[in-house]
């Protein structure tokens, strides 16, 4: 019965992929030597012979033959009269190697040994997984979604190890079901009790960086260096790149012909808008590039407080700020400077702003009413009196007052 259990257990241990064969053999020998020495004494000379493939196990006990009545240590010595029962040709002083049947240890002892073996192998397996993924932090991992929970997703790698993708590390528009393939980056490895917990991410900047390495050979080869990556996952990202080879256009190489290289990355990131810019040590130029596509009139840098005051034409302000402020936020993160935007009207008193720039503050139908009377810009509306606007449009006087207040604030 115990032999069948051993064969089953050995087969189980063979399936551990992260433990090399010599280490496994060493653990097996230690466990069964400990079982034998518990029975025969801590000093007993025990040898364990194992064939892990067949599930064979032999335990041999060696003792020195001494004269009858001269046995001082039964764990290391055997009387001559007992030795010749094993082999008639034995003589005093020789070594007797005697096989100890597994059944002689009893079922309880064998089961305890197997339990000890499982515990040691499991601990070694956990340690091996921890060390493996600790060395892979920052690397891309593709796994299969095994289970979807409320706050996290369980992902299995190609060896069946369990990895965790928390919901807060997923792009907001990510949706996965069991069996789906998911591409992530190893964010960190931690221990939960004695179990390794491998945390994955799709929102970390390093994920986007590794995607560029996969899609752009020049980045992988080190010909193009990614200096910084900032993201608002699923919305927008900015990547600063640099090449020490003047023959290489880093931005063009990253984007690819007609966007062929970057489109694969954008698709993986759920249509995240990616701005690739040339890195430069010229801070003013770097900030200007970071605020693309907005055009800047002038910049004032406060290096001590890490602030930059940006002056630009009124029609460029909304471009600089971006949807929900994401463009200016990412530019600040990319450059390391807090950016303040100011409308520059000093150089051009005739500077005007299209009415369509005010759609966040003025209803679209009101703007259309004003356009019907030829008022396409803010100043064209402000040139008319309230009475004229009431007479020429279908707008109420109160509405017109609100519109004028909004338009005037643009130039204050």
Specify the pLDDT at position 54. 66
With respect to CATH, is domain 2-131 assigned 3.30.1480? yes
Class of CATH domain 280-351: alpha beta
Kindly report, residue by residue over 191-208, the tens digit of the pLDDT: 888 889 999 999 999 999
Specify the pLDDT at position 1. 42
Q: How many residues does the chain have?
A: 412
Q: Which residues of 177-211 are buried (b: 16+ CB within 10 A; e: fewer)?
A: eeeeebebbbbebeeeeeebebbbbbbbbbbbbbb
Greatest Cα pair distance, the chain, in angstroms, is 132
Phi, psi of 3 (to 5 degrees): -65, -40
Rounded mean pLDDT for each run of 10 residues along the chain, 412 residues in total: 54 58 80 86 85 74 88 86 86 86 82 84 85 93 96 94 96 95 96 90 97 96 96 95 92 93 95 95 94 89 93 85 90 95 64 81 89 84 88 88 88 70
**Cα(402)–Cα(89) distance, integer angstroms:** 118
In percent, the amount of the chain with pLDDT more than 90 equals 45
Decide whether 204-271 matches 280-351 in CATH topology. yes
CATH of domain 204-271: 3.30.300.20
CATH of domain 142-201: 2.40.50.140
For the record, the structure tokens of 279 come out as: 């890195």
Could you state, in order of their start, the residue ranges of all structural domains in the chain? 2-131, 142-201, 204-271, 280-351, 355-410
Instruction: List Cα–Cα distances, 315 to 295, 296, 329, 351, in angstroms.
Output: 9, 11, 19, 9
Kindly report, residue by residue over 243-300, the tens digit of the pLDDT: 988 899 999 999 999 999 999 999 999 999 999 999 999 999 999 999 988 889 889 9
- Residue 296 buriedness (CB in 10 A; 0-12 / 13-18 / 19+): buried
């Amino acid at each position: 019965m115990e032999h069948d259990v051993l064969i089953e257990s050995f087969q189980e241990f063979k399936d551990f992929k992260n433990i090399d064969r010599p280490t496994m053999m060493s653990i097996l020998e230690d466990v069964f030597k400990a079982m034998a020495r518990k029975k025969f004494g801590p000093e007993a000379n025990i040898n364990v012979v194992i064939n892990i493939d067949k599930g064979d196990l032999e335990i041999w006990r060696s003792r020195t033959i001494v004269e009858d009545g001269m046995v001082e240590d039964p764990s290391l010595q055997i009387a001559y009269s007992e030795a010749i029962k094993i082999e008639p040709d034995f003589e005093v002083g020789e070594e007797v190697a005697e096989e100890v049947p597994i059944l002689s240890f009893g079922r309880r002892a064998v089961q305890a040994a197997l339990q000890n073996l499982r515990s040691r192998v499991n601990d070694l397996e956990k340690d091996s997984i921890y060390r493996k993924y600790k060395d892979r932090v920052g690397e891309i991992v593709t796994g299969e979604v095994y289970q979807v929970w409320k706050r996290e997703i369980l992902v299995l790698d190609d060896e069946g190890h369990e990895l965790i993708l928390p919901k807060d590390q997923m792009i907001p528009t990510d949706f996965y079901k069991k069996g789906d393939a998911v591409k992530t980056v190893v964010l960190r490895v931690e221990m939960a009790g004695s179990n390794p917990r491998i945390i994955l991410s799709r929102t970390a900047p390093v994920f986007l960086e590794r995607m560029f390495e996969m899609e752009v050979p020049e980045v992988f080869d080190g010909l193009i260096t990614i200096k910084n990556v900032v993201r608002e996952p699923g919305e927008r990202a900015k990547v600063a790149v640099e090449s020490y080879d003047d023959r290489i256009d880093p931005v063009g190489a990253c984007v690819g012909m007609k966007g062929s290289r970057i489109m694969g990355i954008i698709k993986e990131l759920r249509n995240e808008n990616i701005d690739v810019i040339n890195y430069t040590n010229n801070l003013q130029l770097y900030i200007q590039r970071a605020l693309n596509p907005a055009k800047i009139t002038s910049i004032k840098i406060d290096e001590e407080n890490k602030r930059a005051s940006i002056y630009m034409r009124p029609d460029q302000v909304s471009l600089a700020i971006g949807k929900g402020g994401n463009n200016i936020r990412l530019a600040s993160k990319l450059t390391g400077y807090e950016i303040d935007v100011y409308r520059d009207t000093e150089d051009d008193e005739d500077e005007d702003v299209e009415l369509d720039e005010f759609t966040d503050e003025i209803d679209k139908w009101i703007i259309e009413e004003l356009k019907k009377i030829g008022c396409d810009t803010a100043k064209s509306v402000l040139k008319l009196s309230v009475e004229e606007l009431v007479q020429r449009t279908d707008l109420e006087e109160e509405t017109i007052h609100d519109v004028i207040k909004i338009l005037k604030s643009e130039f204050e």
